[in-house]
């Protein structure tokens, strides 16, 4: 068991890392962050910010010497970096677990090998794979195997020729071609698993997206209790199969009342932000606890919740002279009861960039949802889910 005031390390300086730093500080730990951005949100509140790349070995050596244990806030830290650090210091989750989640082909193969429900797919390393794809696989979604997120590196393709054109657009990068499903809804489960295999799952979340980016999350998910329980069971099976230690998120499609695993994230998740305000223990505190060998906290929700993402688009107002950059009127949000606003401290807003979120908590799930959507409209976000 690693106890305060030990130094913990965090690879990555985004908002997920920032919430980790805050949770660790509340528990009495100090945190060093390694991130190449000198203005990274996590780095701004860390006890020490190493401004360096993830392949900067002198910086990695310094991090390993200073910290008792290290975690990560995003899956695209090179597995080689995690492997290197693990020679000198405790690293959770492991490089082996993270590497499965870094590559869609490895991820799909892992899920299939463990008997988990997934959409039909093929690996695509060249145009010949697309030319020989079974006709029944279309319509489909072509996804780059690495570094795709928030809808990036994806293309919906109705047939073979569209798939080939999209593959060429992705400059021949290795992809997966995945059958497009008739989605009823999308849900996710965030859980924590400790070194002894004990797990705690947060309530299942119902998610809706705009332009491939998470827009609104509702807790509890509007799905039968049996389906929510089944989602937690499948997520726990994945965590066991990975030998995972830390906080893990699993996204599911609901198709004809059945669950299909979409993807997994070896870290806290955007859809788990609600745990900050609606649960006895947040997903970030669980990450600290699992990393340090502390008993996992109680994940129960004490309130229903609706979480809304705030993207950089909000900072741009269309006027007669074109888009104008300005700070949104946050007083519009603070007028709503039970609303908790979280801004990430990012130095500049860009279209599609996650700048913050707010969560509305209430005893009644419908009231939480309606008030969140009203607040969403008041701040200028249209086309509510």
Answer yes or no: is 153 a known binding residue. Answer: yes
Angle value at C-alpha 232, between 229 and 234, nearest 5 degrees: 110
Query: pLDDT tens digit string along 14-29?
Result: 999 999 999 999 999 9
* pLDDT tier for residue 323 given thresholds of 50, 70 and 90: confident
Among the ranges given (149-158, 175-184, 249-258, 344-353), the one the predictor scored with the smallest mean pLDDT: 149-158
Answer yes or no: is 150 a known binding residue. Answer: yes
Answer yes or no: is 143 a known binding residue. Answer: yes
Answer yes or no: is 200 a known binding residue. Answer: no
pLDDT at position 88? 97
Answer yes or no: is 179 a known binding residue. Answer: yes
Answer yes or no: is 207 a known binding residue. Answer: no
Q: Residue 318 above 80 pLDDT?
A: no
- HSE (CB half, 13 Å, CA atoms) of 278? 31
Query: pLDDT tens digit string along 225-275?
Result: 999 999 999 999 999 999 999 999 999 999 999 999 999 999 999 999 999
SS (H, E, C) the chain: CCCCCCEEEEECCCHHHHHHHHHHHHCCCEEEEECCCCCCHHHHHCCEEECCCCCCHHHHHHHHHHCCEEEECCCCCCHHHHHHHHCCCEECCCHHHHHHHHCHHHHHHHHHHCCCCCCCEEEECCHHHHHCCCHHHCCEEEEECCCCCCCCCEEEECCHHHHHHHHHHCCCCCEEEEECCCCCEEEEEEEEECCCCCEEECCCEEEEEECCEEEEEEECCCCCHHHHHHHHHHHHHHHHHHCCCEEEEEEEEEECCEEEEEEEECCCCHHHCCHHHHECCCHHHHHHHHHHCCCCCCCCECCEEEEEEEEHHHHEEEECCEEEECCCCCHHHHCCCCEEEEECCCCCCCCCCEEEEEEEEECCHHHHHHHHHHHHHHCCCCCCC
> Of 21, 13, 102, whose CA–CA distance to 54 is shortest?
13
Answer yes or no: is 209 a known binding residue. Answer: yes
Do 116 and 234 touch, CB atoms closer than 8 A? yes
Q: pTM for the complete prediction?
A: 0.94
Angle value at C-alpha 177, between 174 and 181, nearest 5 degrees: 150
Query: pLDDT tens digit string along 281-309?
Result: 999 999 999 999 999 999 999 999 999 99
Q: Buried b vs exposed e over 177-199: b needs ≥16 C-beta within 10 Å?
A: bbbebeeebbbbbbbbbbeeeeb
Angle value at C-alpha 335, between 333 and 341, nearest 5 degrees: 35
pLDDT at position 99? 93
Q: Residue 376 above 50 pLDDT?
A: yes
Distance CA 345, CA 257 (A): 40
Q: Residue 324 above 90 pLDDT?
A: no
How many CB atoms within 10 Å of residue 227?
Answer: 17
User: Across all residues in the chain, what is the average pLDDT?
Assistant: 94
Selected residue with higher pLDDT from 154 and 186: 186
Answer yes or no: is 137 a known binding residue. Answer: no
Q: Residue 209 above 50 pLDDT?
A: yes
pLDDT at position 320? 52
Answer yes or no: is 312 a known binding residue. Answer: no
Answer yes or no: is 87 a known binding residue. Answer: no
Selected residue with higher pLDDT from 384 and 92: 92
Domain at 185-378, CATH homologous superfamily: ATP-grasp fold, B domain (3.30.470.20)
Distance CA 225, CA 306 (A): 18
Answer yes or no: is 262 a known binding residue. Answer: yes
> Of 75, 95, 85, 210, whose CA–CA distance to 146 is shortest?
75
Q: What percent of the chain has pLDDT over 90?
A: 89
Do the first three CATH levels of 7-91 and 120-179 match, i.e. the same topology?
A: no
How many CB atoms within 10 Å of residue 18?
Answer: 26
pLDDT at position 75? 85
Domain boundaries, the chain: 7-91, 120-179, 185-378
Answer yes or no: is 55 a known binding residue. Answer: no
Answer yes or no: is 211 a known binding residue. Answer: no
Average pLDDT of span 358-363: 98
pLDDT at position 321? 54
pLDDT at position 148? 63
Query: pLDDT tens digit string along 50-101?
Result: 999 999 999 999 999 999 999 999 888 998 999 999 999 999 999 999 999 9
Fold classified for 7-91? Rossmann fold (3.40.50)
pLDDT at position 1? 96
Q: Which residues contact 128 (CB under 8 A, 6 or more apart)?
A: none
Backbone angles phi and psi of 153, in degrees to 5: 70, 30
Answer yes or no: is 370 a known binding residue. Answer: no
Answer yes or no: is 154 a known binding residue. Answer: yes
pLDDT at position 335? 95
Q: Residue 152 above 80 pLDDT?
A: no
Locate tokens 């599609």: which residue?
352
Is residue 96 packed enough to be buried (19+ CB in 10 Å), middle (13-18) or exposed (0-12)? middle
Average pLDDT of span 113-142: 95
pLDDT at position 384? 45
Locate tokens 């080689």: which residue?
80
Answer yes or no: CATH 3.30.470.20 is held by domain 120-179. Answer: no
* pLDDT tier for residue 149 given thresholds of 50, 70 and 90: low
Query: Which residues, listed in sequence order, are joined to residue 12 by a DSSP beta bridge?
Result: none
Which contacts qualify for 21-25: CB closer than 8 Å, 24 or more apart?
Answer: 21/45, 21/46, 22/284, 23/282, 23/284, 23/285, 23/287, 23/288, 24/288
């Amino acid at each position: 068991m690693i106890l305060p005031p030990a130094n913990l390390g965090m690879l990555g300086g985004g908002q997920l890392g920032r919430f980790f730093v805050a949770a660790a500080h509340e528990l009495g730990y100090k945190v060093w962050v390694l991130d190449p951005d000198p203005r990274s949100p996590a780095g701004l509140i860390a006890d020490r910010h190493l401004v360096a790349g993830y392949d900067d070995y002198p910086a990695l050596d310094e991090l390993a010497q200073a910290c008792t244990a290290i975690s990560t806030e995003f899956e695209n830290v090179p597995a080689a970096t995690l492997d290197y650090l693990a020679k000198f210091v405790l690293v959770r989750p492991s490089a082996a677990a993270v590497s499965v989640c870094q590559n869609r082909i490895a991820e799909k193969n892992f899920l299939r090998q463990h008997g988990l429900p997934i959409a039909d797919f093929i690996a695509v390393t060249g145009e010949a794979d697309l030319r020989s794809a079974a006709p029944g696989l279309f319509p489909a979604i072509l996804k780059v195997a690495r570094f795709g997120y928030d809808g990036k590196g994806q293309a919906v393709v109705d047939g073979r020729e569209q798939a080939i054109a999209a593959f060429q657009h992705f400059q021949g990068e290795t992809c997966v071609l995945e059958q497009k499903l008739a989605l009823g809804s999308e849900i996710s489960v965030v859980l924590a698993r400790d070194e002894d295999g004990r797990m705690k799952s947060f309530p299942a979340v119902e998610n809706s997206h705009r332009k491939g980016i998470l827009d609104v999350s509702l807790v509890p998910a509007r799905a039968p209790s049996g389906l929510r329980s089944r989602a937690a069971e499948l997520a726990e099976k994945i965590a066991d199969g990975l030998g995972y230690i830390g906080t893990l998120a699993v996204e599911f499609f609901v198709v004809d009342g059945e669950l299909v695993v979409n993807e997994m994230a070896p870290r806290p998740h955007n859809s788990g932000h609600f745990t900050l305000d609606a649960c006895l223990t947040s997903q970030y505190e669980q990450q600290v606890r699992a990393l340090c060998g502390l008993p996992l906290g109680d994940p129960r929700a004490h309130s229903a919740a609706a979480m809304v993402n705030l993207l950089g688009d909000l900072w741009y107002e269309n006027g007669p002279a074109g888009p104008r950059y300005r700070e949104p009127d946050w007083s519009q949000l603070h007028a709503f009861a039970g609303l908790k606003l979280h801004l990430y401290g990012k130095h500049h807003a860009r279209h599609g960039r996650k700048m913050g979120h707010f969560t509305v908590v209430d005893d009644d799930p419908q009231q939480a949802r309606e008030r969140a959507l009203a607040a969403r409209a008041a701040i200028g976000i249209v086309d509510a889910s």
